[in-house]
Amino acid sequence: MTDAAVDDLPRDVAELIDVPQYEETSEIPVERGYIWTALAAVENGNPIFWDDAVAAELTGGPIAVPTMISAWFRPHWWAPRRTKQRLPLQIHFDLKERFGLPEAIMTENTITWYEPVRVGDLLTTCQRLRSVSGEKTTRLGTGRFWVTDVEYRNQGGELVAVESYTSFGYRRD
């Protein structure tokens, strides 16, 4: 990876750092069918999610798979009366557009879990831009890295998870 001279971040982008944006309520409640589909996709047989007696003993009832957290945050591909597709992690797409970077890839992900997510929960999220790098060149192309956090809370306002994504938006050289 090569670095161009670190340029100053445009003011309109710098002003968004650490500002809560896109506070949204999930389009789907936490439900078991999707939990089982997610488990099947990686052949995860953890009985907490498959055996109600184990869930009752250990977690006080059925919970969602922790690593599914972002699934509850992603909008439907389509919904009635929606004229424009809603995108997950909208800040990421805003930055692609702002910097004219047509391609992007995730490079790093951190998830920290707090209260378990329970079946029937309806989560709310907000996003925060944490940082944007100067222009860099990698084997994929030239662009910028940025870090975006997503905070997840349940309907009672309890913090359930914080997720951090590092993305590389780029144009192919």
Partner 1 sequence: MAKLTLDQVHEGQELPSLRYDITTTTVVLGALAARDWRPMHHDYHFAVERQGTKDIFLSTPNQASWFERFVTDWTGPTGRLGRIRFRMRDSVYPGETMVMEGVVRKVEVDDVGCGWAELDITMSQSGRTCTLGYARVALPTEPADNPWARHGDRWRPAPAE
User: Where along the sequence are the contacts to partner 1 (CB under 8 A)?
Assistant: 34, 37-38, 40-48, 54, 58-60, 65-68, 70-71, 74, 77, 88, 103, 105-116, 140-141, 165-166, 172
> By C-beta, is 16 or 75 nearer to partner 1?
75
> By C-beta, is 8 or 43 nearer to partner 1?
43
DSSP 138-168: -SS-EEEEEEEEEEEE-TT--EEEEEEEEEE
> By C-beta, is 11 or 172 nearer to partner 1?
172
> By C-beta, is 21 or 166 nearer to partner 1?
166
Strands 142-153 and 20-25 come out as unpaired
Minimum CB–partner distance for residue 19 and partner 1 (Å): 22
Longest pairwise C-alpha distance within the chain: 59
Minimum CB–partner distance for residue 132 and partner 1 (Å): 18
Convert 143-160 to b/e letters by CB count within 10 Å (16 or more is b): bbbbbbbbbbbbeeeeeb
Nearest CA among 109, 98, 95, 120 for reference residue 33: 120
Residue 171 near residue 102 (C-beta atoms within 8 A): yes
Minimum CB–partner distance for residue 73 and partner 1 (Å): 8
Minimum CB–partner distance for residue 13 and partner 1 (Å): 23
> By C-beta, is 129 or 161 nearer to partner 1?
161
Minimum CB–partner distance for residue 16 and partner 1 (Å): 22
